[in-house]
Chains A and B, each alone.
Chain A
Amino acid sequence: MNESYRQTDDTDLVKASIEGDKLAFGEIVNRYQKMVARTVKGMLGDSVFAEDIGQEVFIKLYYSLSEFRGEAKLSTYIQKIAINLTLNEIKRRKRFFSMFSQKGNNEMYEYEVADFDSEEKREASEIVNKALMRLEPKFRIIVAMRMLQGYSTKETAEILDLPLGTVLSRLSRAQGQLKDILDKL
């Protein structure tokens, strides 16, 4: 779709997108959709709804590009939008389920088992998804940042706007919770 922008850096892509260049914005979406998918699907489960949130992330990004001053990396900016929208969706689901459903917190997330080329890979994906969905959202986000995105503790703290100490303590508590969950799986 946008071969001409493959080599263009983020700053120029942002400038072109602000001027209404579809191809430039398409390149931003191509570049960062995998990162957004890891955050959104890691937090909400691999479902159609997660895909909708993913689209919303980029739509919100497009309309807020003029506010992007380039002080932080574009990836960090997108990641923050993705996290905010995902956490809002979790809150919305919690409200909905507490009002209209008897289902527990663990069951309000769903995921579709994608096609895998081996049974081992399918099992690995299922274990990770199940474990993530059973974690409390505040721990899940930290685990998703570290385990799925590969961010360091410092980067995680920066993206989540949390003090480093808080991230470290949540990491250790998340590890404990995750151990218990994985033992039962």
Chain B
Amino acid sequence: MKTPDLKKLIIGSLNANSDSEEIAGKLEKEGVSYKFSNGFTDKVIDKIFSASSTVTREIEFVKSMNYVFCRIAFTGVAAIVILLISIFLMEGSVSINSFLGLGDTYDESIVCLLTGN
């Protein structure tokens, strides 16, 4: 197709009542075609599924971190409780007051503390 005819075809394709499908087909025949490179599908599939496996690995890592954290946290709490109990037993001061931190506190001293006198 000669350049002036091609230009006419392009302009004509924008007429509201033109058969755009037919014009698109004609233009494609004339060389106006677009396509992606060879192996496009494989590239897309690789990107999607390699990304999916990375996400799966990340999720597994987070899950195992949670598991390890729970194990450490529970063991730690148990160790602290045992340590506290052993200290109280050794010093012979196991009482509810000492657990609550009220061992040496008297009513008068609380009043002094609150009133500032």
Contacts and interface: CB of A to CB of B under 8 A. Distances in A.
B36 interface: yes
> What's the interface size class on A, roughly?
35 or more
A9 interface: no
A62 interface: yes
Interface in A127-153: 127-128, 131, 143, 146-153
A182 B7 contact: yes
B32 interface: yes
Main secondary structure of the interface of A (DSSP, over half): helix
Nearest to A153: B16
A166 interface: no
Interface string B9-52: 01101111000111111010011111111001111110111011
Contacts of A38: 34
A62 B24 contact: no
Contact of A150 (B7, B14, B24, B48): B24
Contact of B13 (A30, A51, A127, A147): A147
A179 B16 contact: no
Interface of B: 1, 3, 6-7, 10-11, 13-16, 20-25, 27, 30-37, 40-45, 47-49, 51-52
